[in-house]
Amino acid sequence: MKKLILSVLLLNLLAACGSNPPKEEAMAPATSAAVSEAPAAAAAADATAVDAQAAVDAQAAADAQAAADAKAALMEKNSVYFPFDVDAVQDADRETIMNHAEYLASHPDAKVRVEGNADERGSSEYNLGLGQRRAKNTKRALVLGGASDSQIETVSYGEEKPRCSEHNEACWSQNRRADINYSAQ
Amino acid sequence: MRRWILLYLMILSAPVHAVLNIEITGAGEHQTPVSLVRFAGDAAIAQSLLALVGSDLARTGLFKLIDPAGKSPHEPRDIRPAEWLGVEAVLIGSIQSQSEGKISVEFRLFDLVRNAELMSQVVTAKEDQVRAIGHRIADLVYERLTGSPGVFSTRIAYVSRDEGVYRLVVADSDGDNEQALLTSREPIMSPAWSPDGRQIAYVSFEKRRAMVYVQSLTTRQRKLIADFPGSNSAPAWSPDGMQIAMVLTRDDASQIYLANSNGSHLRRITHSDAIDTEPSFSPDGKSLLFTSDRGGSPQIYRVSIDSRDVERLTFESGNAFSPRFHPDGNSFVFAHFNEGIFHIAVHDMESRQTQILTAGGWEKKPSFAPNGKMILFATEVQGRGILATVSSDGRVKQKMVAQRGDIREPMWGPFLK
């Protein structure tokens, strides 16, 4: 996922370079011979400008689309999961953390709420504490990955908002998680 | 001995109305045979009182209710002990209507073994307070026959969850007469009674994270007392009602703090990098029990409020949560999680022995009745949270199954003063 996002960004950069009109054209010397040809040249220049503008617009749209796609891809994986009674972020979720950390680093205005959760095998108050620690450790990992402290709020729902409510490991494993939720801007 | 008692009732919002099905198993080591005679006077009220007092006494498992078999004395002089063989005590009484919709109920408890009157009292209340009168009579009968005050007039609080709606509910100790104190779309946790029974502190997520509120049961007014960054939770009142212990994550992991009951004068009590939570005041107000995973797994600890010295109390295999002191301060009840199930257990601090009281299941959040004789906790039937009780000796168990909703976080209230 990380590679995919990087290559999308690279393509955008290359495309942006290619669409810049060559500077020589814009700085063509105004000779007398050229004057008579000026209207044609001007028309050609206009056409170039129009083409350039269209290219810029298309690029902006493509960029916006790419950004939306990138964010959608990011949001598809916004949970990190924990073993029973453990609050340390797991290696399996490193990529998810790095993707969000990079997004936050490159979008300083973006803000997230990291919401910690726990399965039901504890008291509700203990689980509130456990969810808070999971949220805090997820925040720490995001900050280490480049996000800024002020972009991230941590809260806990403990065992109060289970994603799944049966008494089995398949359910519990879904409930032991921290969600990285982006705030509306 | 005659006393007049005016019943004090709390004013709450519209009742929730739920039908409870109560299932009792087990019996006390000794069951006192008692006969309840339907009182003279208004037949409908007499029948309600008879049913209420009977079910209150029966639920304790300490009494064997003997049918009076047609005998209906209303005065001590009408009682012929020879006709009551095998019965130790008989309750008689009469109901008089008074002005302004009030009734007065005079009742006497007669000891058939010693041929003596144990109690004679009059209760006056409004006609619609028949339940309160019945609980009061049951309290006094229980006290005369067991030596401990009855808890039938006390109230309980819990959280019900039904189709995404959370309610903080206050009910009679038999689970009936439910009234919602707060209704919310976000979770509610950890109700805690003030020692005078007039206020409840609780945790509400209505502002999208855990904050501690204190609400009056009489005026329904409430006050936000802790909204620090992170989680604010686990409120517990000091025995004098002046202070509230709670758990905050504002400085670090979950740590225990003490504040005045309005939230002012905050100071930190525990200092660890672990989860320290679920404080419960000792009856003398000098120490707190709490749950902590500072030793690697959640166990019960005690901290002295003056010295801040911490002592570990449980060394069980598995985990220990949610400690609550017995009213005598010598033992505590907690939820023990081991090999995948929760049990309700009592730990005696003198002998350092732990006794498991229940068969096990999703049993959580135990609290003692104010007389220390029963424990209220949350359990589950067919995937739904329900209320349950167990006697402190583990012999008598009771499940209270409501028709709908998921019940959690029960807490037994104090004696009403």
Q: Is B158 on the interface with A (CB under 8 A)?
A: no
Q: In this predicted structure, what is the pLDDT of residue B7?
A: 40
Clarify whether residues B249 and B182 are in a common domain: yes
Q: In this predicted structure, what is the pLDDT of residue A76?
A: 87
Identify whether B221 is part of a domain.
yes
Beta pairing class for A79-81 and B364-368: unpaired
DSSP secondary-structure letter at B39?
A: P
Contact B248, B228 (CB under 8 A): yes
| A156 vs A137: CA distance, rounded Å | 12
Secondary structure E strands in A87-141: 112-117
Residues of chain A with Cβ-Cβ distance to B254 below 8 Å are 128-129, 132-133
Residue B399, CB-side half-sphere exposure with 13 Å CA sphere: 16
Q: Tell whether the model's pLDDT for residue A12 goes beyond 70.
A: no
Give the tokens for residue B395.
Answer: 């012999």
* Ramachandran angles phi, psi of B297, nearest 5°: -135, 155
Cβ–Cβ below 8 Å for B277 and A129: yes
| Alpha-carbon distance A133 to nearest alpha carbon in chain B (angstroms) | 7
Q: In this predicted structure, what is the pLDDT of residue A43?
A: 54
Q: Is B208 on the interface with A (CB under 8 A)?
A: yes
Q: In this predicted structure, what is the pLDDT of residue A33?
A: 41
Q: Is B202 on the interface with A (CB under 8 A)?
A: no
Clarify whether residues B327 and B391 are in a common domain: yes
Q: In this predicted structure, what is the pLDDT of residue A114?
A: 97
DSSP secondary-structure letter at B361?
A: B
Tens digits of residue pLDDT in B103-150: 999 999 999 999 999 999 999 999 889 999 999 999 999 999 999 999
- Of the candidate ranges A54-58, A84-88, B369-373, B407-411, the one whose mean pLDDT is the lowest: A54-58
Give the tokens for residue B360.
Answer: 């096990």
Tens digits of residue pLDDT in B173-217: 998 889 999 999 999 999 999 999 999 999 999 999 999 999 999
Clarify whether residues B127 and B220 are in a common domain: no
Residue A11, CB-side half-sphere exposure with 13 Å CA sphere: 11
The range of the structural domain enclosing residue B102 comes to 31-146
Q: Is B409 on the interface with A (CB under 8 A)?
A: yes
- Of the candidate ranges A25-29, A100-104, B239-243, B308-312, the one whose mean pLDDT is the lowest: A25-29
| Most confident region among A44-48, B88-92, B399-403 by mean pLDDT | B88-92
Domain endpoint, select from B115, B146, B177: B146
| B160 vs B257: CA distance, rounded Å | 28
Q: Looking at the partner chain, which of B187, B229, B321 has a beta carbon nearest the beta carbon of A122?
A: B321
Q: CA nearest B166 in A: which residue?
A: A160
Please give the average per-residue pLDDT across A157-185, as a whole number: 94
Tell which phi-psi region holds residue B53, choosing left (phi > 0), alpha (psi between -120 and 50) or beta.
alpha
Clarify whether residues B211 and B117 are in a common domain: no
Q: In this predicted structure, what is the pLDDT of residue B9?
A: 35
Identify whether B86 is part of a domain.
yes
Radius of gyration of chain A (CA): 25
Residues of chain A with Cβ-Cβ distance to B383 below 8 Å are 165
Q: What pLDDT band is residue A26 in, cutting at 50, 70 and 90?
A: very low
Mutate to test the interface with A, among B166, B247, B254 (most CBs of A within 10 A): B254
Q: Is B228 on the interface with A (CB under 8 A)?
A: no
Q: CA nearest A115 in B: which residue?
A: B209
Residues of chain B with Cβ-Cβ distance to A120 below 8 Å are 362
Tens digits of residue pLDDT in A85-114: 999 999 999 999 999 999 999 999 999 999
Identify whether B13 is part of a domain.
no
Clarify whether residues B175 and B323 are in a common domain: yes
Q: In this predicted structure, what is the pLDDT of residue A14?
A: 33
Between B161 and A47, name the one with better pLDDT: B161
Q: Is B324 on the interface with A (CB under 8 A)?
A: no
- Partnered with residue B212 across adjacent β-strands are B203, B226
Q: Tell whether the model's pLDDT for residue B4 goes beyond 50.
A: no
Q: Which residue has the tokens 């500072």?
A: B294
Clarify whether residues B139 and B206 are in a common domain: no
Q: In this predicted structure, what is the pLDDT of residue B405?
A: 87
Report the residue count for chain A: 185
Q: What pLDDT band is residue A16 in, cutting at 50, 70 and 90?
A: very low
Clarify whether residues B240 and B338 are in a common domain: yes
CA A86 to the chain's CA centroid = 27
Clarify whether residues B165 and B138 are in a common domain: no
Q: In this predicted structure, what is the pLDDT of residue A45?
A: 57
Cβ–Cβ below 8 Å for A126 and B321: yes
Give the tokens for residue A97.
Answer: 């953390």
Q: Tell whether the model's pLDDT for residue B374 goes beyond 70.
A: yes
Q: Tell whether the model's pLDDT for residue B251 goes beyond 80.
A: yes
Average pLDDT of chain B to the nearest whole number? 93
Domain endpoint, select from B123, B146, B169: B146
Q: In this predicted structure, what is the pLDDT of residue A46?
A: 62
Q: Is B255 on the interface with A (CB under 8 A)?
A: no
Cβ–Cβ below 8 Å for A126 and B253: no
Contact B45, B11 (CB under 8 A): no
Give the tokens for residue B118.
Answer: 């144990």
Q: Which amino acid is at B259?
A: A
Cβ–Cβ below 8 Å for B337 and A122: yes
Residues of chain A above pLDDT 70, percent = 72
Cβ–Cβ below 8 Å for A160 and B205: yes
DSSP code per residue over B396-414: -EEEEEESSSEEEEEEE--
CATH number where B51 lies:
3.40.50.10070
Give the tokens for residue B198.
Answer: 């007039």
Q: Is A112 on the interface with B (CB under 8 A)?
A: no
Q: What pLDDT band is residue B14 in, cutting at 50, 70 and 90?
A: very low
Q: In this predicted structure, what is the pLDDT of residue A9?
A: 34
Contact B234, B277 (CB under 8 A): yes
| B326 vs A103: CA distance, rounded Å | 53
Q: Tell whether the model's pLDDT for residue A142 goes beyond 80.
A: yes
| B305 vs B264: CA distance, rounded Å | 17
Q: Looking at the partner chain, which of B249, B298, B408 has a beta carbon nearest the beta carbon of A126?
A: B298
| A19 vs B49: CA distance, rounded Å | 90
Reduce the secondary structure of A28-95 to three states and give it as a string. Answer: CCCCHHHHHCHHHHHHHHHHHHHHHHHHHHHHHHHHHHHHHHHHHHHHHCCEEECCCCCCCCCHHHHH
Average pLDDT of chain A to the nearest whole number? 80
Domain endpoint, select from B146, B178, B209: B146
Clarify whether residues B123 and B244 are in a common domain: no
Tens digits of residue pLDDT in A34-44: 444 444 555 55
Identify whether B15 is part of a domain.
no
Structural domains in chain B (count): 2
